[in-house]
Amino acid sequence: MVLPVMLYSAVPFYQGALRDVKNRRAGMDTPVALAILLAFVAGVYALLSNAGQGMYFEGIAMFAFLLLLGRFMEQAARRKAGDAAERLVKLVPAFCHKLPDYPDEKVQEAAVAQLRSGDVLLVRAGEVVPVDGTVLSGESEADEAMLTGESLPVAKRAGDKVTAGTLNTASPLVVRADEVGGQTRLAHIVKLLDRALSQKPRLAEAADKYASGFVSGMLSLAAPVFAGWWYFTDAYQALWITVSLLVITCPCALSLATPTALAVSTGKLAGKGVLIARGHALEALAAATDVVFDKTGTLTEGKLWVTQTLLLGGEYAVQAAQALESQSEHPIAHAIMALPVEKAADIAVEQRVNRVGHGVSAMLTISGKQQIWAIGRPEFVAEIAGDIPPQCCDTGHDGSVIALGNQQGFAALFFLKDQVKAGVPEMLAALKNRGLTPHILSGDRRNAVNALAKQLGIESACAEAAPEDKLAYVENLQRQGKKVLMVGDGINDAPVLAAADVSVAVAGGADVARDGADVVLLNEDMAVLPEMLEQAARTQANIRQNLIWASLYNIIAVPLAAAGYVTPWVAALGMSSSSLLVLMNALRLGKQ
């Protein structure tokens, strides 16, 4: 009757033990497989020799059942904790309504997997948007809560962008596909989340290393325990005590303590629009002492507008500025492109060079006249245009200043302003209450940065910082023993995001910034930062609780098993109960 248990139910333990042997390590399955095989061999020997004792086949079935029950509950808990990526994948429908001859309204059913960029789709009310695209016609509202955690629907009309996985709630929309399949924002988020869940943080690696050493020690202890009991009693008694020792000391709880807590917190934060993209992020967030913010697009809306245009000479200054910025997605470029022009100009652009954090230069041909133009920071433009005009240093303007010039001199100055994001003052107050020190680190002009720092009550502010200056600023904080959390959104933030102890990128920023960050804020809501740090601190406390319990359990269990006070099925029950206690404690992170 116990053969099905041996030949089928216990196979996962054998496979795990063989894998550990091949990898030359001692894992959790090694002592369990050894205990099951030893007990069965001894039971068969006792049966064949008619010894009349030691045939505890029901004990084998009992602790195999308890061990597998524990594994089942463990896997169910981990699936529940880590199913954020699975939920996101299921958002995209398999089929959609395609308009092959748009503007003809004839609808054709099509598989989403076969869509191409440029296809036109009809998304009816109550349907999920299958692609990243642009609304061509119609007005409606989109529920983006699954992606961003924002519960309020977002209005959509012609020209607005829609994202795969969001729900069209009100009326039909005609959408042109811009990104499909694995290129959508949703697919990118799923990849980042999968990467985070597959990586092992330093705490988990340390716990696994300790567990492996613990198992090796228990296997070494089993031999003298068996020999000692055999010497003082008999082989059968020695065998069952040794089996109990091997089972009860399996460090399942120790190995589950860290990854389960991390998976639960990762899933909870994903539901709030916070994507943990790297495994070590929660551990590093809990240790952060200083928070360094970029300015534009992070603390401020990043929707700049030109408050004043100062023309310093020459024709077609605004047209030249727009020609230089035509290929940029920077908020400053959008503000320049939004400026009205009195008359169009035929401008040819050649040899465009973008110096990150400084500006753009190119050879422009305007009305047959060819010369080098530049737009960006006044110091950058001065390399081509000569001396910086005194108007750049106007202390009466607390916004940003962008200069335009050519080989003849400075042609125009554009003064821009931005506004602070909603919830930022409250967020900064919450960070200070947690004992963190905020900093502003920006490439913007000094007047604008200092005005914002004064408005928000931030004492440490660094302005006019190039990418290399930002990197040096963060490295200087790290040399002082600070643990730096960097928050940014632009291409010029990518190096410093990578260098910080832990980094947060705003999802609306550049792809390279998001890819290099440890955490991505999907809804661009900075108010979630204190909650994210609180969750990280609770996760670390939970992991410590789990590790302490797992260690105490082993300290108590080993002497009791070695002294012969534990039977095999009680050992299996104790080990499973210890693991379940750790899992239940970790699951609390998803409810509080």
SS3 314: coil
Query: Which one of 294, 489, 493, 501 is the catalytic residue?
Result: 294
**One-letter amino acid for residue 264 of the chain:** V
DSSP 62-88: HHHHHHHHHHHHHHHHHHHHTTHHHHH
DSSP annotation of 291: E
Q: Please name which of 536, 269, 582, 71 lies closest in space to residue 79, comparing C-alpha atoms.
A: 71
Max alpha carbon distance in the chain (Å)?
110
**One-letter amino acid for residue 80 of the chain:** K
Q: Would you state the structure tokens that stand for residue 391, as one six-digit string?
A: 């108007």
Residue 472: phi, psi to the nearest 5?
-65, -35
* Cα–Cα distance measured from residue 565 to residue 586, given in angstroms and rounded to the nearest whole number: 30
Q: Which residues contact 272 (CB under 8 A, 6 or more apart)?
A: 149, 528, 531
Q: Please name which of 172, 182, 166 lies closest in space to residue 136, comparing C-alpha atoms.
A: 172
DSSP annotation of 136: E
Per residue, the 3-state secondary structure of 218-259, as one string, reads HHHHHHHHHHHHHHHCCHHHHHHHHHHHHHHCCCHHHHHHHH
Residue 481: phi, psi to the nearest 5?
90, 10
CA separation, residue 480 to residues 54, 484, 495 (Å): 65, 11, 20
Q: Would you state the structure tokens that stand for residue 66, as one six-digit string?
A: 């308890």
Instruction: Write down the residue that tokens 């029901």 correspond to.
Output: 58
Q: Would you state the structure tokens that stand for residue 67, as one six-digit string?
A: 């061990």
CA separation, residue 307 to residues 291, 401, 454, 489 (Å): 31, 10, 21, 24
Q: Would you state the structure tokens that stand for residue 197, as one six-digit string?
A: 């869940």
Cα–Cα–Cα angle for 525, 526, 528, rounded to 5 degrees: 85
**One-letter amino acid for residue 499 of the chain:** A
Q: Please name which of 104, 121, 5, 136 lies closest in space to residue 63, comparing C-alpha atoms.
A: 5
The beta strands (E) that lie in 418-490 are given as 437-441, 460-462, 484-488
* Cα–Cα distance measured from residue 319 to residue 339, given in angstroms and rounded to the nearest whole number: 9
**Could you check whether the bond before residue 331 is cis, i.e. omega within 30 degrees of 0?**
no
Residue 353 pairs in a beta bridge with: 361
Residue 423 zone, left/alpha/beta (φ > 0; ψ -120 to 50; rest): left
In this structure, the number of other CB atoms found within 10 A of the CB of residue 423 comes to: 14
Q: Please confirm, yes or no, whether 294 is among the known catalytic residues.
A: yes
Residue 316: phi, psi to the nearest 5?
60, 35
* Cα–Cα distance measured from residue 485 to residue 499, given in angstroms and rounded to the nearest whole number: 10
Which residues are part of the catalytic machinery? 294
